[in-house]
Amino acid sequence: DSGVTQTPKHLITATGQRVTLRCSPRSGDLSVYWYQQSLDQGLQFLIQYYNGEERAKGNILERFSAQQFPDLHSELNLSSLELGDSALYFCASSEKTGRLRLDGYTFGSGTRLTVV
Amino acid sequence: GENVEQHPSTLSVQEGDSAVIKCTYSDSASNYFPWYKQELGKGPQLIIDIRSNVGEKKDQRIAVTLNKTAKHFSLHITETQPEDSAVYFCAASEVRGNTGKLIFGQGTTLQVKP
């Protein structure tokens, strides 16, 4: 157990629907990062939050949004789902951010989203 | 922003042989380079990392080297075992913009044949 908890582990939904993926970071970690991993693809950075505030955005679609709550858990919302959104979605956390962060993230075990 | 290229995309070796995976990065300001191992159905797991003020780091059968001038770093696995079979990702920490986010390479699928 890495200490980063992602729920649900699996999600099957229809096109056009909306889903919410949840991430609880490791205790003491203030920074949360979301990544998308499609079949045969690497880890594509979506968005980062640090202590409740958005810090960086990657190639995140307008249909996707995220937030980090006061208790530091984060949610990734995916709406108007398309077949191409089927992927593994990983959350990672770290204690620090920016130039101060010289350690690796800790990843959760991911949510596998299947859009049918 | 930072860009990381990783080679090869697949690597097959015999048990006991060595495996080498190479990565290049684009931003000379990047200061931290971790390597992750991802087994089937699991999240990536940090296996070794190196900071920009160090040229080489070893941990048992795994070593990482960094050449800042050439902007490339490599993962070396010696005496490979079947349980080393997995997807390996290199990454570089993006310093500009002060986000600290990691930019990953495309991954290398390592197969160790018994």
pLDDT digits over A31-70, tens only?
999 999 987 678 999 999 989 999 889 889 999 999 999 9
Q: What confidence score (pLDDT) does residue A115 get? A: 97
Residues of A in contact with B6 (CB under 8 A): 42
**What are residue A32's DSSP bridge partners?**
A49, A93
pLDDT tops 90 at residue B109: yes
Residue with tokens 């940090």: B46
pLDDT tops 80 at residue B104: yes
Instruction: Report pLDDT digits (tens) over A92-115.
Output: 998 766 555 567 789 999 999 999
- In this prediction, residue B67 has a pLDDT band, given cuts at 50, 70 and 90, of very high
Q: What confidence score (pLDDT) does residue A6 get? A: 97
Exposure b/e, B55-72, CB count within 10 A at least 16 = b:
eeeeeeebbbbbebeebb
Scanning every residue of chain A, which has its alpha carbon at the shortest distance from the alpha carbon of B95?
A99
Closest residue to A99, CB basis, from B49, B89, B95: B95
Residue with tokens 């307008």: A62
Cα distance between residue A112 and residue A39, in whole Å: 11
Question: What percentage of chain B carries pLDDT values higher than 90?
Answer: 76
Q: What confidence score (pLDDT) does residue B36 get? A: 96
Please indicate whether, in this complex, the C-beta atoms of B98 and A97 are within 8 angstroms of each other: yes
Please indicate whether, in this complex, the C-beta atoms of A108 and B89 are within 8 angstroms of each other: no
CA distance A53 to chain B (A): 12
**What are residue A48's DSSP bridge partners?**
A33, A56
Scanning every residue of chain B, which has its alpha carbon at the shortest distance from the alpha carbon of A112?
B41
Cα distance between residue B71 and residue A102, in whole Å: 18
Q: What confidence score (pLDDT) does residue B45 get? A: 93
Instruction: Report pLDDT digits (tens) over B13-55.
Output: 999 999 999 999 998 888 889 999 999 888 999 999 998 888 9
Q: What confidence score (pLDDT) does residue B24 get? A: 98
Please tell me what DSSP assigns to residue A98.
G
Residues of B in contact with A87 (CB under 8 A): none
